[in-house]
């Protein structure tokens, strides 16, 4: 299969080994995946952007795929994640990179841009907007208050709980439940039910992904497990404590935000209201917002549209 032959290497960054896929030459573009994904989620964008004259690098993030997976949740703070990315940019000898992130990768993109705006030429963020830190209540307590214990992020907190429930299914089924999820409300399981049981297993595949592609994810997660990915959620409250000095700070890097109109919680949880209102723009003053017809994994579902949106943003820097 063509995607198996992507050029990959493991590089040392921030004290761990990370697997990266790369292609092309030119300005550096970092593509950061989300949960539960891999570098492979960017397979369409890697080829497209490389063909347009960019050096495209897509890592398996810490805890995922063929990258190292430290055991402790405290090794997954936003500072570790940002440090990993700065280390990759340094590895290639670049002063600046374009950063493109989806889901957790979007969160990393926001904080790379907040902590080190000198290293980010421009940011494209998909699906997860920059959110202000609550000054009074921790992240998990805030989520529990809004959505209850059935919320996926809350269920992922207790070590072993989600691992145990996920293990009731084969890895291919787990990947289908997440990647092909069409629920537009937030991922909240009914009382007494685990989120993995609540998510449906579709009996058919949409045209944007093949069984072989889903199997690629399944095989990698079978090797690496889900504890690394869950540790991102288990570090959320630690992040909240550590981010106190940045209370009220703004992301000044030039940004394009892309989201699908059927993304999780887009209408029901006020995402549309937030991104189209004044608050988001006040925190990210140099911002363009693009709403596409699609779901959460928009860069795979609407690969051509998303690739074109990313390219138009990158191209605008050489025109400026």
| DSSP states of 128-172 | ----PPPSSS-HHHHHHHHH-TTBHHHHTSSTTHHHHHHTTS-HH
pTM: 0.97
Element (H, E) at 59: strand 55-59
The stretches of the chain forming alpha helices (DSSP H) are 43-51, 78-91, 104-115, 139-147, 152-155, 161-166, 171-179, 195-198, 211-224, 227-234, 236-242, 271-276, 278-283, 298-301, 303-319
Average pLDDT, the chain: 95
Report whether pLDDT(268) > 70.
Answer: yes
Q: Which two tokens stand for residue 320?
A: 């400026």
Annotated catalytic residue 91: no
- Give the span between the Cα atoms of 178 and 222, in whole angstroms: 15
Q: Which of 233, 263, 295, 299 is catalytic?
A: 233
* Residue 53 phi, psi dihedral angles, 5° rounding: 95, 30
Q: Which of 66, 84, 103, 263 is catalytic?
A: 103
Are 239 and 78 contacting, i.e. CB atoms less than 8 angstroms apart?
yes
Q: Which of 33, 55, 296, 299 is catalytic?
A: 296
pLDDT digits (tens, 9 = 90+) for 70-117: 999 999 999 999 999 999 999 999 999 999 999 999 999 999 999 999
Are 234 and 157 contacting, i.e. CB atoms less than 8 angstroms apart?
yes
Report percent pLDDT > 90 for the chain.
92
Report whether pLDDT(125) > 80.
Answer: yes
Strand partners, 257: 125, 289
Annotated catalytic residue 233: yes
Task: State the average pLDDT over residues 136-160.
Answer: 95
Report whether pLDDT(195) > 80.
Answer: yes
Query: In which band, very low, low, confident or very high, does the pLDDT at 6 lie, cut at 50, 70 and 90?
Result: low
Are 317 and 222 contacting, i.e. CB atoms less than 8 angstroms apart?
no
Query: In which band, very low, low, confident or very high, does the pLDDT at 50 lie, cut at 50, 70 and 90?
Result: very high
Task: State the average pLDDT over residues 207-228.
Answer: 97
Query: In which band, very low, low, confident or very high, does the pLDDT at 236 lie, cut at 50, 70 and 90?
Result: very high
pLDDT at 320: 55
pLDDT at 1: 46
- Give the span between the Cα atoms of 34 and 178, in whole angstroms: 12
């Amino acid at each position: 299969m063509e995607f198996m032959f992507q050029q990959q290497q493991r590089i040392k960054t921030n004290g761990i080994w990370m697997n990266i896929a790369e292609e092309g030459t030119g300005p550096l573009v970092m593509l950061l995946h989300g949960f539960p994904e891999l570098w492979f989620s960017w397979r369409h964008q890697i080829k497209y952007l490389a063909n347009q004259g960019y050096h495209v690098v897509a890592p398996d993030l810490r805890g995922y795929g063929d990258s190292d997976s430290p055991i402790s949740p405290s090794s997954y703070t936003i500072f570790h994640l940002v440090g990993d990315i700065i280390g990759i940019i340094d590895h290639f000898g670049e002063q600046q990179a374009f950063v493109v992130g989806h889901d957790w990768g979007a969160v990393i993109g926001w904080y790379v841009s907040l902590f080190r705006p000198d290293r980010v030429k421009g940011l494209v963020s998909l699906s997860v907007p920059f959110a202000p830190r609550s000054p009074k209540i921790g992240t998990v307590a805030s989520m529990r208050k809004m959505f209850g214990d059935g919320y996926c992020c809350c269920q992922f907190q207790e070590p072993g709980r989600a691992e145990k429930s996920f293990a009731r299914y084969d890895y291919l089924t787990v990947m289908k439940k997440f990647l092909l999820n069409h629920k537009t409300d937030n991922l909240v399981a009914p009382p007494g039910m685990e989120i993995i049981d609540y998510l449906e297993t579709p009996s058919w595949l949409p045209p944007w992904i093949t069984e072989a592609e889903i199997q690629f994810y399944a095989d990698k997660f079978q090797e690496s497990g889900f504890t690394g990915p869950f540790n991102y959620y288990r570090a959320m409250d630690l992040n909240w404590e550590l981010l106190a000095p940045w209370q009220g700070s703004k992301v000044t890097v030039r940004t394009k935000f892309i989201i699908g109109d059927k993304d999780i919680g887009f209408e029901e949880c006020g995402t549309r209201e937030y991104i189209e209102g004044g608050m988001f723009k006040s925190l990210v003053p140099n911002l363009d917002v693009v709403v596409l017809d699609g779901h959460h994994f928009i860069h795979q579902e609407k690969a051509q549209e998303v690739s074109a949106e990313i390219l138009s943003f990158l191209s605008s820097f050489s025109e400026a």
